[in-house]
């Protein structure tokens, strides 16, 4: 949601792919469109990944998905490293099938795929996206609220689906 708001502030059109659409009210507020992953990849200039890692999301973005993206598109992965097949990503970048990538997670952390190093079309940073005082405070507060709810015999505030 925060990224969508920032994207809209820059005049970007927002599309998203999710197992289930967000509320109609939020979709309207963000002027966003729910798309299939295939539609999203084929029509986006920037694809930013924010999904959990699971067997279903392992290599969610692989050779076929990268090939379906525009050659002028950028892929950003701040989700989990193994969501992207880095070997396929390197191949797509080398072939000019993708304009660039930004990664703050890596498939085999702490190692970085050698083909991603020293590239002008790739930005690599350690997983620091949540390293602000405000975010870490919010994370600790949410963890405490979840623990208190469970100890009280209630459902956690933010259950994992």
Which of 6-10, 98-102, 124-128 has the weakest average pLDDT? 124-128
Place of tokens 């076929």: 64
pLDDT at position 57 is: 96
Bridge partners (DSSP) of residue 49 are: 77
Average model confidence (pLDDT) across the chain: 93
**Cα–Cα distances in Å, from 97 out to 40, 66, 116, 125, 146?**
16, 8, 15, 23, 43
Q: What mean pLDDT comes out for the span 8-22? A: 90
Global confidence as pTM: 0.80
Looking at per-residue pLDDT, the higher value among 131 and 24 belongs to 24
pLDDT at position 53 is: 94
> Mind telling me the catalytic residues?
80, 109, 127
Give the Cα separation of 155 and 158 in Å (integer).
Answer: 8
pLDDT at position 148 is: 95
User: pLDDT tens-digit profile of 23-60?
Assistant: 889 888 888 999 999 999 999 999 999 999 999 999 99
Looking at per-residue pLDDT, the higher value among 157 and 122 belongs to 122
DSSP letters of 2-28? HHHHHHHHTT--EEE--SS---HHHHH
pLDDT at position 30 is: 87
Q: What angle do CA 154, 159, 161 make, to 5 degrees?
A: 135
pLDDT at position 130 is: 67
């Amino acid at each position: 949601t925060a990224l969508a708001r920032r994207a809209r502030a820059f005049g970007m059109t927002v599309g998203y792919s999710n197992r289930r659409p967000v509320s109609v009210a939020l979709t309207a507020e963000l002027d966003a469109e729910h798309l299939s992953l295939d539609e999203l990849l084929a029509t986006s200039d920037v694809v930013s990944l924010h999904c959990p890692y699971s067997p279903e999301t392992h290599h969610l973005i692989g050779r076929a998905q990268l090939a379906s993206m525009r050659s002028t598109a950028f892929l950003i992965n701040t989700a989990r490293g193994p969501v992207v097949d880095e070997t396929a990503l390197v191949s797509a970048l080398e072939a000019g099938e993708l304009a660039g990538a930004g990664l703050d997670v890596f498939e085999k952390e702490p190692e970085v795929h050698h083909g991603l190093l020293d590239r002008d079309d790739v930005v690599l940073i350690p997983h620091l996206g949540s390293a602000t005082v405000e975010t870490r405070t919010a994370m600790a507060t949410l963890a405490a609220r979840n623990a208190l709810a469970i100890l009280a015999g209630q459902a956690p505030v933010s259950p994992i689906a």
